[in-house]
Structure 1
Amino acid sequence: MPTPRPLALAVSLATASLTLTAHAEEAERLSTLTVTAQAATKTETPFNETPQSVSVIENEEWEARGAETVQRAADYTPGVYTNQIGASNRYDYLVLRGFTDGSVSNTFLDGLKVMSDGGSFSSLVVDPWFLERIEVVKGPASVLYGRASPGGLVAQTSKRPEFEHSGEVRLGIGNNAQRSAAFDLTGPLDDERRVAFRVTGLARAADTQFGPVEEERYAFAPQLSWDVTDATSLTLHAYLHKDPEGGYHSGLPYEGTAEDRNGRRISNDFFEGEEDFDKFEREQTLVGYELEHRFSDALTGRQTLRYTESDVELEQVYAFGWASDTELNRYYSSGDESLKALAVDNQLEARLTTGAAEHTLLAGVDYQQRDNDVVWGSGAFPTIDAFDPQYGAEPTAFYPDVRQKRELEQTGVYLQDQLALGNWRLNLGGRHDWVDIANTDRDTGVTGELDDTQFSGRAGALYLFDNGLAPYASYTTSFSPNAATDQNGDLIEPSQGEQVETGLKFQPAGTQDRYSVALFHITQENLATKRASETFFRATGEIESQGVELEAHTRLTDNLRLQVGYSYTDVTLEKTGDANEGNTDNWVPRHQASVWGQYTVQQGGLAGLDAGLGVRYYADIYADEANTEKVPDYTLVDATLGYDLAKAGFEGVSARLNVSNLLDEEYVAGCSDIDFCYFGAERSVKATVSYTF
């Protein structure tokens, strides 16, 4: 099993030592504050009683860093690679413990899967302005959620109505013509405070570093919560989202971006497309409810339901390899997709005691259904000079459209028992899924089908010492359906993953500080692999991921907060059936380290001022599965400066300046292969003014 570098381990231990000293007296006078890891168990379980690695990202953390997407909110989370497609903000790409499959569609919102279609352009996103917190569950989580990547999942929690009046209005401007306006209002609707509302909205637009490409977003979320009785509550909610402009999403050859081509480099603001053939529009509607009834203090029932509709239209002219010393080949891609989906989860939670053991039992039945009608077009365009581009070209060819109906249906039954026996915390769970997938060619009528059942399990044990230390070990499994077809036109059987993890958590009494170290080994089998001479896929692949992650969230003093993270991830292509067997997987940093510190002035003439500085480091990223090239290592610096104007007599008003990539580093963030490498985002400067009441 790999071990962290000595320097990283020394820094972690030194940080822990300083923190213990700083909190020695404070812990005695503070009441215990609980940080939960609810997504890993679907119950209210404290962070240091969960035998699995979970990173919790609170709203105030990403707000301070100025993050405007979920992937940017996770920038400082170890074990999560957020620069897979560089400067693109179209989707929330999150590589978890080295696994890229499902990185776009493996997200959950309020306990239900965000019903995207990972094999198409219909991957949905939720703007973080509408979220309260984000939990990253590391490793397999199929036992509670069904189909999922073995690398983990990203669980998002929405802001919900509150029974006290409050609100916020925010305006922002920045470079690249950034402009934004947002609001968030909540409070009771009746004198008895049994009904509460929340309305949240956002409008945001910006140019990008890539020629004429723009980003534009509008989103609105109305909600209503009703305490029907003292034991029954109902929340109705909707999320309406439109992206008229979806920004840039394309790659360029390794030679010319990560290294010179004939002594020259392509500019990191180069646009290889055509303005008249560049389009990405996405509309999303999510409507649902959350119903909870407490039968007694020991028994609670819940039902969560969400219906989703999404429409995506896409046009893009993209580059694919060099045609000459200076010119790139270009092709055309388009998409027109309409997705409709339903997800529902029914739970029954019981708390009971048998002898010396206290049990939290969770039984559930969930159902997912998704239909996506797609039309995919393709064509060819004239070449373009990467160093002296001339625009205005017309297509040279259009090829026949591909028309598909993509259907998925999944039903799962799960049972989990969390036992507290003295200082021991045990977690046992099992789940059985029935999965039906059908992809039908609407022109030929040929259907690729999968009708399968899967069992997923989990077993974990943790010992909680009185001083807050908690060593643990766990074993978990997962499954993930494949979108590829075999030589008979049938969908490949689902990939299966298993993980062994051991680690140590620590949360000092009376604080929200938390420290963790996790060592893991994941194997995923039955991957879809393809030989160059064949047009179909085979289920022969295997990937092995192993590594270590260290994470610390601490308040060193009353004024200074610190977040430190380090991960070592070694991902090997164990079985591929080709020359890449035994190589390291690409798109995965072997070393990833980050630190974020924020200092708040609480007294004196500068009271109300805060400043934050962060550094992110990425190293040893292969550009292709053949391991012929590596992406140059890179380091990024982010900064923030904020001021609470209440200190100057403007109650409720605050201002913040955020700068990402402070040093304006020009870099390649990652490559899917030698032909597609992705420039990282240039420096972004943004100022916001907020009024809270």
Structure 2
Amino acid sequence: MKRSFLKPSILVLAASSQIAFANEVTELDELAVYGDTYRNTATKTSLRPEETPQSISVLDEQALEMRDADSVAAALRYSPGVNTELRGGAVGRLDLFSIRGFINYQNYYDGMQLLYNDWNLQPQIDLLAVEQVEVFRGPTSTLYGSMPPGGMINLISKEPTLGASNKIELATGSRNLKEASIESSGQLGDSDLSYSLVGLARSRDGQAETSEEERYMVAPSVDWQVSDDTLINFNLYYQKDPEMGIYTSLPASGLFLPNPNGELDTDAFSGDANWNQFDKEVLLAGYKINHNINNNWNFLQNFRYTDASAFQTNTYSDGLAADGRTLARQAYLTDEATTGFTIDNQISGRFQTGAAEHNLLVGFDYLSLDSDVIYEDTTGGSGAPSIDLFNPNYYQISSSTIDITDTLYSSDFNIEKKQLGVYLQDQIRIGRFVMIGGVRWDDFTGTEKGKQYGAPVDSKLDQDNVSTRAGIMYQAANGLSPYLNFAESFEPQTGRDRNGNEFDPSTGDQWELGVKYQTPDQRTTANLAFYQITKENVPTRDPQGGPYDKIQAGAVRSQGLELEALAQPLDNLLLTLSYTLQDVEITKDNSGLKGKTPVWVPEHLLSGWADYSFDQGVLDGLVAGIGARYIGEAEYDATTNSGHVPDVTLLDIALRYDLGNLAHTLKGAEIGLSVNNLTNERYYSCFDISNCWFGEERTLETSVSYSF
């Protein structure tokens, strides 16, 4: 299918479906009100991921608990196509990862974007409040608007249940971990109300010297079954992070490159204990309305309001001296506050036209973000004292020793973003064929006003885009389902060329050929995918202009292979395997980067996990898990590709034991043990040769829980 034919063909397909629907309606199986208002990430409908001709992985609550995942990065370690090792083990204040070679900061929570101001204030969702994690690989702009072409992560919240369930848990472990959590759900008496409540308190030392981590979270949710056809959900998520470790980096020299002074320890810190604050507070409040219009048509409205703030004091590297130990630094602070809201309206319906069964989706969504940012640093002022990395003094900086106001980079400005999207999608089943087509129009506006980097700024961005998607799958009787898809993405681009012309959005497109497999008993499933993504309109240097002039002449190509398999060869044994081979290259550029590979893109990723449940003998009640993950070499200098961050193989284990097998009085009690990076391997990630991070060192956690 040629690209030029995709947009009109999808529009004709959708129009013909509506015309046919006007002539013939066949009543299908009765729709149910979904108590969790859940919609599949890949289609925004209740259809199963297996019916979607595109790669998607679903990590359910059992997998998250068994691997003791407490962050988005930890949850994604065993997923194909995803690299979570970007900022190392000591940095946790941003959920940062790459999918199919493209960096992504934009997480989704229950299908709606977590509003991010592109600075330091990124709302995060603690994994305790998450029921499952869905990884949708490839362009997703047809349903979700602005998004990098590699894919997206959607976190599905824990929601109310009619059955009563309660759990309390205490945990301790490495780095002086102290954690307490509670989960409760059930029906409120004999009423039409059911609830879910999740709460957490956690503190521990950070991996880097002198750093600390602290978090408090509560997430209540209430379902109101207004009638047989209408459900309203009210939800709240509040999180307070008084301390969030570090954000500073280290030079590659002393990590994996030679240094005359030796190797740095994995807890090395280039910052200052007196100037390393990060205090973040996030409130999310929303509702969902799910209404069955009739047996075949459904309406869902999802709304969320965001109020968030973050204050930090920090340092950054300003160059390593020739002695290999003295690191020059600058100190800075940021003070950020964001308010905004998102709303998504969906009407979906099922109908029959001849032999074709349709699942039509029509929707529009809107988001609005308003963020104030203050930034100050010591550049052009008194500077910050340097640090000896091999004999550090972590207590050199205070507000009285540095001048951080009205310096060269002083900034105080406001950011506004607004995005309106209208989308249409039809999924058609004819016999064993499943086809999907979608189209979306987006209108994006953004403004920045105030003072930025010492100069006045008053810029406005107004861009619109049309994204399309088409795919086809054949579900054979032998369990094999080959598929082919094409999808597009877009990302707004700020800036102008030297003639004053605003940039166009950066766009991407993907071709993906794959096959899914499922045995009749569903004990074995697999997905093999080959893909190629091309991203265009990437800003690069203008050869006819000055050193800072840009034109949109850049392009990036990502191609690769992904394999994901899950098998249950025995009733007690569950195996998962994933492999990624990726080749990412800058194919167009005016800065000498053509032919280069970006950083944070290992060529190979391989992982496997095994769970075994013992059901007899002295080990009855024990569930044991072991995993191994291989992270291949990656570039540490995007401009030269002159060397690689070393590869590494990491081992993780997890054990859970039901104490009810020892005594009836202990029914509901469980103990757990998990160890990440069992052999305590040294490993690293780098943005460039001057900015690297250690991977997470060995961490051990033990827990005891009681469910009733």
Q: TM-score, normalised by structure 1?
A: 0.92
Distance (Å, rounded) in 1 between the aligned partners of 2:422 and 2:522 = 37
The equivalent residue for 1:20 is none
Which residue number corresponds to residue 580 of structure 1? 593
User: How far off its partner does 1:268 sit?
Assistant: 1.6
Match of 1:40 in 2: 42
In structure 2, relative to structure 1, the CA distance for the partners of 1:355 and 1:126 (3 Å cut) is same
Q: 1:489 to 1:60 in 2, by over 3 A?
A: farther
* Aligned positions of 1:117-516 closer than 5 A: 117=117, 119-192=118-191, 194-262=192-260, 264-325=262-323, 326-379=325-378, 380-394=383-397, 395-398=401-404, 399-400=407-408, 401-442=410-451, 446-483=457-494, 486-487=497-498, 492-511=503-522, 513-516=524-527
1:512, CA displacement in angstroms?
Answer: 5.3
The aligned residue for residue 631 of structure 1 is 645
Cα drift, residue 526 of structure 1: 1.2
Return the offset for 1:497: 0.5
- What SS does structure 2 have at the residue aligned with 1:40? coil
Matched to 2:54, the amino acid is Q
Aligned to 1:120, the other structure's residue is in SS state coil
**Cα 1:85–1:350, aligned 2, differ >3 Å: closer, same or farther?**
same
Match of 2:30?
Answer: none
8 Å Cα contact 1:566-1:592 kept in structure 2 = yes
Alignment partner of 1:660 out of 664, 676, 679: 676
The alpha carbon displacement at 1:47 in A equals 2.7
**Mapped partners of 2:175, 2:128: distance in 1:** 21
Q: Hey, what does 2:87 align to over in structure 1? A: 85
For the structure 1 residues 386 and 530, does the alpha-carbon distance in structure 2 shift closer, same or farther, using more than 3 Å as the test?
farther
Please say if 1:601 is aligned against 2:620.
no
Question: Matched residues in 2 for 1:321 and 1:267: separation?
Answer: 20
- C-alpha separation in 2, matches of 1:272 and 1:531: 36
Aligned to 2:109: 109
Deviations 1:198-251 (A, max 9, x none): 111001111022111111000001111011011000000000011000112221
Equivalent position SS for 1:556: strand
Distance change in 2, residues 1:48/1:548 (3 Å): same
Which of 69, 80, 95 in structure 1 is aligned with 2:71?
Answer: 69
Q: Which piece of structure 1 moves more, 490-499 or 448-457?
A: 490-499
TM-superposed CA distance for 1:404, in Å, is 1.5
Distance 1:658 1:500 in 2: 40
CA distance in 2, matches of 1:431, 1:314: 38
Distance 1:334 1:512 in 2: 53
In structure 1, distance between residues paired with 2:112 and 2:231: 18
Look up the match of 1:99.
Answer: 102
Write the distance in 1 (CA, Å) between the matches of 2:319 and 2:277.
22
Q: What is the deviation of 1:510?
A: 2.8
RMSD value, Cα: 1.7
The 5-angstrom pairing of residues 559-578 of structure 1 reads 559-578=572-591
The amino acid of 1:376's aligned partner reads: Y
Structure 1 residue 616: deviation in Å? 0.7
Shift of residue 482 of structure 1?
A: 2.7
Give the Cα separation in 2 of the matches to 1:412 and 1:332: 41
Contact residue 507 and residue 535 of structure 2 kept, 8 A:
yes
Deviation at 1:489, TM superposition (A): 8.0
- Map Cα deviations across residues 321-361 of structure 1 (whole Å, 9 max, x no partner): 21231201111121100101110001100100000000000
| Alpha carbons 2:248, 2:269 under 8 Å: kept | no
Partner of residue 690, structure 1? 705
1:370·1:408 contact (CA, 8 Å) conserved in 2?
A: yes
Structure 1: how far apart are the matches of 2:683 and 2:456? 46
Contact map agreement 2:248 2:271 (CA 8 A) in 1: no
Distance 2:580 2:521 in 1: 28
Match of 1:526 among 537, 540, 544: 537
* Cα distance between partner residues in 2 of 1:491 and 1:261: 46
Aligned partners of 2:300 and 2:347 also within 8 Å: yes
Aligned residue identity for 1:71: A
Q: Which amino acid aligns with 1:601?
A: F
Question: Structure 2 vs 1, CA of residues 249 and 490 (structure 1 numbering), >3 Å: closer, same or farther?
Answer: farther
Which secondary structure does the structure 2 equivalent of 1:605 belong to? helix
- Matched AA of 2:268: F
Bigger mean CA offset, 81-90 vs 527-536: 527-536
Q: Which moved more, 1:74-83 or 1:183-192?
A: 183-192
Letter in 1 for 2:488: T
| Distance in 2 (alpha carbons) for counterparts of 1:315 and 1:484 | 29
- Among residues 612, 616, 640, which one is paired with 2:654 in the alignment? 640
Residue type at the aligned position of 1:65: R
Amino acid corresponding to residue 514 of structure 1 in structure 2: T
> Aligned to 1:446, what secondary structure does the other structure show?
strand
Quick check: 1:238–1:288 contact (8 Å CA) kept in 2? yes
Contact conserved, 2:461 with 2:494, CA < 8 A, in 1? no
Q: Distance in 2 between matches of 1:489 and 1:279?
A: 40
TM alignment of 1:15-30, pairs within 5 A? none
Name the SS for the 1:565 alignment partner. Answer: strand
SS in structure 1 of the partner of residue 531 of structure 2:
strand
- Matches of 1:537 and 1:677, distance apart in 2: 28
> How many Å apart are 1:263 and its aligned residue?
5.6
Gaps of at least 5 residues in structure 1 are 1-35
Contact kept, 8 Å, 1:588 with 1:621, in 2: the verdict is: yes
Runs (5+) with no aligned partner, structure 2: 1-37
CA contact (8 A) 2:261 2:390 kept: no
1:485 and 1:121, CA in 2 relative to 1: closer, same or farther beyond 3 A?
A: farther
User: Using the alignment, how far apart are the partners of 2:484 and 2:582 within structure 1?
Assistant: 19
Between the aligned partners of 1:615 and 1:504, the Cα distance in structure 2 is 25
1:591-639 CA-to-partner distances (Å, cap 9, x unmatched) read: 0000111111012221001211111101120001120110011111111
Q: How many residues align?
A: 652
Equivalent AA in structure 1 for residue 50 of structure 2: N
- Three-state SS of the structure 1 residue aligned to 2:156 is strand
Q: Distance in 1 between matches of 2:630 and 2:502?
A: 39
Q: Deviations over 1:140-194 (max 9, x none)?
A: 00000000110000011100011111111111000100110000111111315x2
Asked whether the 8 Å contact 1:508–1:514 carries over to 2, the reply is yes
- Asked whether the 8 Å contact 2:636–2:686 carries over to 1, the reply is yes
User: C-alpha displacement at 1:37, in angstroms?
Assistant: 8.5
CA distance in 2, matches of 1:128, 1:286: 15
My pick for the range that moved more, 447-456 or 526-535, is: 526-535
- Counterpart amino acid of 1:227? Q
Q: 1:58 aligns with which of 48, 60, 64?
A: 60
